[in-house]
Chains A and B, each alone.
Chain A
Amino acid sequence: MYDTLQSAMQNQSVPGNVIPGVDSGQRHMGFVWGPGDILLYETQRKGTGSGEAGCPLIHVVRKDEDIYSPILRKLFNESHHIFVGLQQSKEETSSKTKRPQFVSVSKNYRSVIRACMEELQQIAAGSLLLHLLDWVRLHKADVDEKAQEVLHSDSPTRHHKYWDVVICYVLQGRMDEARQMLAKQASQQPAARSMFKTLDSLMKKMPVFNPVGSQTLTEFDLKWRHWHEECELHLQDGSFSSNSNLETICKILLGHEETLLNQKEQLSTWYHLLVTRLLYTHPSVKPTELHYYAQSSMDLFLDNRSAPEPLDSILLAAFEFDIHQVIKDCSIALSNWWFVAHLTDLLDHCKLLQSHNLHFGSNLREFLLLEYASGLFTHHSLWQLAVDYFDHCPEFGRMYLELQIERVPLDTERKALKVLRICEQRQLAEQVRSICKIMAKKAVRNNRLGSALSWSIRAKDAAFATLISDRFLQDYCARGTFSDLDLIDNLGPAMLLSDRLTFLGKYREFHKLYGEKRFAEAAKLLLSLMTARIAPRSFWMTLLTDALPLLEQKQEEDIETTKVELLRLALARNLAAAVVKEGTVDSL
């Protein structure tokens, strides 16, 4: 798989992808991997000492350009639904009912692709999308458009595209439609009526194998041979010699190689040729023989003149049922990981992938899903989708999520809450703390102490709560009033997070009691704040000053004991301070 990656990278550095302003032929390049982007800069080899100044620019090179297409975003979002649905179905259903379910998941993916393509065809597609478009262009839809054009013209039978349409229908095996078109011509030419009738009956009679019927394959084969001989007979005895178009159709029915190759323009691709050839020469082909016909069709069609494109080899590998080759080729050819990641996941659920452990990382499914999701995560908006993909990567998903989620820029609290929710649901305690801390620091920077305290309480970050409590106390000392009373008055049990925060809450409570003239309670609270030793040293002076008016209060008995206690404390503290001071002077 590493080889694949390397060649995928090389694939991207073909001359079409030269970074403007970077001359890699002239200078040495340095680069740094980012989560999604690569930083590229010019550098100088040590010791060359050429005084020439380097280019001062740093280039950002984006790997997953495709995720920035608005149409593909719909594809990513819709397929995300299907993906999550598939992962959940895993546990619910028994293995017997799974098969039709997998087929329906595959069809859902295909219908999403088709819906996106329809939109692509309405809008001019960027060259990046062409790869994806190519891959799913399984059928030539333009026949029907052409047919409409012909049928709506004044004289359909004389329209210059009339025979193109008939032949296209025959090449695709759409006999009923071809016969309807031919009937129009027949009615115009009464003289050639029997000739048209002969061809019509041949087309009508063509045996089609019905898998649910009682017919065996041998019976079908016999019937088909018989039909084939009848066609051959009519061709030999010159039944259609007077009309070259009808003769061509008869030759197609016989799978005449030269005739088919003359229709390259109508077939447009080698895999269309393959399907037509099989239809008229080997209708009972076995899956194991498929790759042989695929190879020869491709050789015939491409005529050894033009080299096969990446898509050709992918399909060839698919016809050979070489799943790993398909995945590998797709990884190289397609410009994003969407297709391979989802295909591999589906195949893995179908148990079609051999447990092919890589010599690094986990298995192939997980490796590709991680690549795809990492790409999404670098997108400013699609990162949210990536989370569910990481969730379904049992080995490394969590680690990837942990690394990536911290890099999501947090512009608003609302976004921060979304990211936080993702982390909390997955018990990413470390990331929860880190996000709250980022938000708390941001709030402090903006002088929003209340917000900052809320975030630290949410993170249970005692150290930061202490820091912010100190800021509140400093503000109080400087201004004589408290800010953010709505918060401090309603701390509740959150107050116990740190000693300093408890002190802040209780000290504010003291002021409240004092304001309400409940002096006895106020004095008791002040005393307990002093004795519990949670007051910061620098705050003792303030506490003692606060005690002064209480000492002077003339009130009932029970405050007297509190008063005495307060005085004792003040004296003791004064003495202690004096002793310390004396000691300090002595030691000088």
Chain B
Amino acid sequence: MEYINAKFVSQKISKTRWRPISSTSLQQPEVFATGSWDNEDNKVSIWSVAEQGMQDDYEGDPQLLCEYKHDGDVMDLQFLDQERIVTASSTGSVTIFRHYQNSQTLSVNQRWERAHYHSCDNAPCTGVVCNSPEIVTVGEDGRINLLRVDHKGIVRTIDNADSSTIHAVTFLRTTEILTVNSIGHLKMWDFRQQGNEPSQILSLTGDRVPLHCVDRHPNQQHIVATGGQDGMLCIWDVRQGNMPYSLMEAHSAENSSKGRLETTNMLPSQTMSVNSLDVLGQCLVCGTDGEAIYVTKQVPM
């Protein structure tokens, strides 16, 4: 069995993401970011699994490079580029952190306070997606925000985009995004169109199972996968039909993973939920409510 490294980190991990590697280099991913949730003080942390010194000596134990306090739960976390990370907070704010690799420090680069809000309360920002310089965020307030790096205000807001909570967002094309919500809808939005109406709504008829995550196929842009609360993985073709064309029962319960592979048989027996996993090349990193992060460098494909 391939080697999986576990590290207990004294915080429940909500998100893990590898730092992107340039497509030309043959390098293995070495650095990843994590975000925590449900702590009195939450953090964004940067870890390294770089091999130090002799190769045989490599134990793969992630080393903490730096961390920074995060207001509210980290609901989502994405790398904007090699140096910048965008986080979504349960307070409704969206923050860009910059990771200085020379000094191994993190600092706040830009913040949009209350990007998501209720009139008299905070509304958690549930998801964020980047296509530099553009950032799209979604929240429990049913809003969709279009932000631009180094642009102070919000470029565009779609109020009441959804009557229920939007759980996740992803880019389909440069001007089109997909959102999933808590009543099982997959909606397509086109920023070229004015108004607050989606260009398409897809759903399983009669089924109101909440959808928690969405991602598109790396090569075939019209193929989209969603993960539902009942553990069902749906594959959709957004060009045709309102129905998914493939269903797979992947999990026994909701798991906000990206739905690319089965994790439970790879990890030591788990009772606490896996909140996030990210695969880059052959490397996988995931974070759990058992306050552990797991890293493996040989994912069987």
What mask results when residues 438 to 456 of chain A are scored 1 for a CB within 8 Å of chain B, else 0? 0000000111111100100
With both beta carbons as reference points, the residue of chain A lying nearest to B160 in the complex is identified as A483
Q: Which residues of chain B in 174-217 are interfacial with respect to chain A, using CB atoms and an 8 Å cutoff?
A: 182-183, 185, 187, 201, 203, 205-208, 210
Q: Which residues of chain B in 46-91 are interfacial with respect to chain A, using CB atoms and an 8 Å cutoff?
A: 73, 75, 90
Does B170 count as interface, using CB distance less than 8 angstroms? no
Q: Determine whether the beta carbon of A486 is less than 8 Å from that of B290.
A: no
Measured CB to CB, the closest approach of chain B to A503, in angstroms, equals 18
Q: How large is the interface on B (under 10, 10 to 19, 20 to 34, 35 or more residues)?
A: 35 or more
Q: Determine whether the beta carbon of B124 is less than 8 Å from that of A413.
A: yes
Max count, chain A CB within 10 A of own CB: residue among B39, B164, B207, B273: B164
Contact A417 to B203, CB < 8 A, known contacts A447-B119, A450-B164, A486-B162 = no
Q: Determine whether the beta carbon of B140 is less than 8 Å from that of A412.
A: yes
Contact A412 to B183, CB < 8 A, known contacts A74-B291, A494-B208 = no
Interface stretch among A78-86, A147-155, A183-191?
A: A78-86
Does A70 count as interface, using CB distance less than 8 angstroms? yes
What mask results when residues 101 to 145 of chain B are scored 1 for a CB within 8 Å of chain A, else 0? 000000000000000001111011010000000000000111000
B292: which A residues are within 8 A, CB to CB?
A: 77
Does B2 count as interface, using CB distance less than 8 angstroms? no
**Complex Cα spacing A447 to B162, Å:** 13
The one of A412, A448, A483, A487 that contacts B90, using a Cβ cutoff of 8 Å: A412
Interface stretch among A57-65, A327-335, A380-388?
A: A380-388
Does A492 count as interface, using CB distance less than 8 angstroms? yes
Q: Which residues of chain A in 380-426 are interfacial with respect to chain B, using CB atoms and an 8 Å cutoff?
A: 380-381, 384-385, 388, 411-415, 417-418, 421, 425
Q: Determine whether the beta carbon of A421 is less than 8 Å from that of B208.
A: no
Contact A412 to B10, CB < 8 A, known contacts A446-B120, A449-B163 = no
Does A56 count as interface, using CB distance less than 8 angstroms? no
Contact A412 to B73, CB < 8 A, known contacts A384-B12, A483-B163 = yes
**Complex Cα spacing A485 to B185, Å:** 13
**Complex Cα spacing A385 to B271, Å:** 9
A414: which B residues are within 8 A, CB to CB?
A: 37, 73, 75, 124, 126
A448: which B residues are within 8 A, CB to CB?
A: 118, 140-142, 163-164
**Complex Cα spacing A85 to B269, Å:** 9
Does A549 count as interface, using CB distance less than 8 angstroms? no
Give the A-B contact count at a CB cut-off of 8 A. Answer: 123
The one of B120, B126, B254 that contacts A421, using a Cβ cutoff of 8 Å: B254
The one of B39, B40, B123, B272 that contacts A446, using a Cβ cutoff of 8 Å: B123
B249: which A residues are within 8 A, CB to CB?
A: none
Does B165 count as interface, using CB distance less than 8 angstroms? yes
**Complex Cα spacing A133 to B120, Å:** 49
Does A127 count as interface, using CB distance less than 8 angstroms? no
With both beta carbons as reference points, the residue of chain B lying nearest to A418 in the complex is identified as B273
Q: Determine whether the beta carbon of A415 is less than 8 Å from that of B290.
A: no
The one of A73, A78, A446, A486 that contacts B163, using a Cβ cutoff of 8 Å: A486
Q: Determine whether the beta carbon of A487 is less than 8 Å from that of B183.
A: yes
Measured CB to CB, the closest approach of chain A to B269, in angstroms, equals 7
Does A71 count as interface, using CB distance less than 8 angstroms? yes
Does A117 count as interface, using CB distance less than 8 angstroms? no
The one of B10, B37, B142, B206 that contacts A74, using a Cβ cutoff of 8 Å: B10
Measured CB to CB, the closest approach of chain A to B118, in angstroms, equals 4
Does B154 count as interface, using CB distance less than 8 angstroms? no
Q: How large is the interface on A (under 10, 10 to 19, 20 to 34, 35 or more residues)?
A: 35 or more
The one of B73, B254, B271, B273 that contacts A411, using a Cβ cutoff of 8 Å: B73
B30: which A residues are within 8 A, CB to CB?
A: none
With both beta carbons as reference points, the residue of chain B lying nearest to A446 in the complex is identified as B118
Does A326 count as interface, using CB distance less than 8 angstroms? no
Does B229 count as interface, using CB distance less than 8 angstroms? yes
Measured CB to CB, the closest approach of chain A to B91, in angstroms, equals 9
Q: Determine whether the beta carbon of A417 is less than 8 Å from that of B40.
A: no
**Complex Cα spacing A434 to B247, Å:** 32
The one of B37, B140, B185 that contacts A451, using a Cβ cutoff of 8 Å: B140
The one of A84, A381, A454 that contacts B12, using a Cβ cutoff of 8 Å: A381
A457: which B residues are within 8 A, CB to CB?
A: 208
**Complex Cα spacing A77 to B229, Å:** 26
Does B95 count as interface, using CB distance less than 8 angstroms? no
Q: Determine whether the beta carbon of B11 is less than 8 Å from that of A381.
A: yes
B164: which A residues are within 8 A, CB to CB?
A: 448, 450-451, 454, 487
Q: Determine whether the beta carbon of B182 is less than 8 Å from that of A454.
A: yes
The one of A71, A418, A490 that contacts B203, using a Cβ cutoff of 8 Å: A490
Q: Determine whether the beta carbon of B182 is less than 8 Å from that of A492.
A: no
Does A176 count as interface, using CB distance less than 8 angstroms? no
Measured CB to CB, the closest approach of chain A to B176, in angstroms, equals 18
Measured CB to CB, the closest approach of chain A to B250, in angstroms, equals 16
Does B237 count as interface, using CB distance less than 8 angstroms? no
Q: Determine whether the beta carbon of B90 is less than 8 Å from that of A411.
A: yes
Q: Determine whether the beta carbon of B182 is less than 8 Å from that of A380.
A: no
**Complex Cα spacing A80 to B203, Å:** 40
Q: Determine whether the beta carbon of A446 is less than 8 Å from that of B90.
A: no
Does A238 count as interface, using CB distance less than 8 angstroms? no
B291: which A residues are within 8 A, CB to CB?
A: 73-74, 77
Q: Determine whether the beta carbon of A451 is less than 8 Å from that of B208.
A: no
Q: Determine whether the beta carbon of B182 is less than 8 Å from that of A413.
A: yes
Does A493 count as interface, using CB distance less than 8 angstroms? yes
B229: which A residues are within 8 A, CB to CB?
A: 417
B118: which A residues are within 8 A, CB to CB?
A: 446-448
The one of A425, A447, A451 that contacts B165, using a Cβ cutoff of 8 Å: A451
Binding site for A on B (CB under 8 A): 8, 10-12, 37-40, 73, 75, 90, 118-121, 123-124, 126, 140-142, 160, 162-165, 182-183, 185, 187, 201, 203, 205-208, 210, 229, 253-254, 268-269, 271-273, 289-292
Binding site for B on A (CB under 8 A): 70-71, 73-74, 77-78, 80-81, 84-85, 380-381, 384-385, 388, 411-415, 417-418, 421, 425, 445-451, 454, 457, 483-487, 490, 492-494
30 A-B interface contacts by CB (under 8 A): A77-B10, A77-B291, A80-B271, A81-B271, A84-B271, A85-B269, A381-B11, A381-B39, A385-B272, A385-B290, A411-B73, A412-B73, A412-B124, A413-B124, A415-B37, A417-B254, A445-B120, A446-B123, A448-B118, A448-B140, A448-B141, A451-B142, A451-B164, A451-B182, A454-B183, A486-B201, A490-B183, A490-B185, A490-B203, A492-B207
Contacts A81-B269, A380-B40, A413-B126 aside, 10 further interface pairs with beta carbons under 8 A come to A74-B8, A77-B291, A388-B271, A411-B73, A417-B210, A446-B123, A446-B141, A450-B163, A451-B142, A454-B183
